[in-house]
């Protein structure tokens, strides 16, 4: 199982709207996440800072499925008025966070 983490920033005053949209996430968006093999997807918020984490069989494959999905493109467009997510100008992807510690309970 691979892990993926991302970070983003809410636009001022948009936290409640961000939460509402996720409370009402589209069924077709959930289907794309499943198709991408994404599990244990969690998003945390502190002030206007967002941190997301998920597990999947292959980060590369999960990224490909999402990148090729018109549903994800529509979701990203829908969310751009409530949040800002930095993108690599060359790849267009989110900057990759490096894992520096893991405690798996053993």
* Domain boundaries along the sequence of the chain: 2-84
Q: In this predicted structure, what is the pLDDT of residue 92?
A: 66
Rounded to two decimals, the pTM is 0.88
* Stronger pLDDT, 86 or 48, i.e. the higher one: 48
Measure the CA dihedral 93/95/100/105, to 10°.
Answer: -40
Is-catalytic flag, 22? yes
Q: Give the pLDDT mean for 70-90.
A: 91
Orientation angle between helical segments 70-79 and 15-23, nearest 10 degrees: 150
In angstroms, the CA 41 to CA 77 distance is 20
Percent share of the chain, pLDDT over 90: 80
Active-site residue, from 3, 20, 22, 39: 22
The per-residue pLDDT for 23 is 98
Alpha carbon distance 71, 41 (integer Å) = 17
> Length of the chain in residues, anyone?
106
Confidence of residue 27 (pLDDT cuts 50, 70, 90): very high
pLDDT higher than threshold 90 for residue 43: yes
pLDDT beyond 80 at 95: no
For domain 2-84, the question of CATH label 3.30.70.100 is answered with yes
């Amino acid at each position: 199982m691979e892990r993926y983490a991302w970070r983003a920033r809410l636009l001022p005053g948009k936290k409640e709207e961000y939460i509402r949209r996720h409370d009402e996430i589209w069924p077709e968006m959930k289907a794309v996440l499943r198709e991408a093999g994404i599990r244990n997807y969690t998003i945390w918020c502190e002030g206007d800072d967002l941190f997301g984490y998920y597990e999947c069989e292959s980060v590369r494959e999960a990224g490909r499925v999402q990148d090729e999905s018109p549903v994800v493109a529509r979701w990203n467009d829908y969310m751009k008025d409530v949040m800002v997510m930095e993108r690599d100008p060359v790849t267009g992807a989110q900057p990759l966070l490096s894992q520096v510690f893991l405690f798996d309970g053993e």
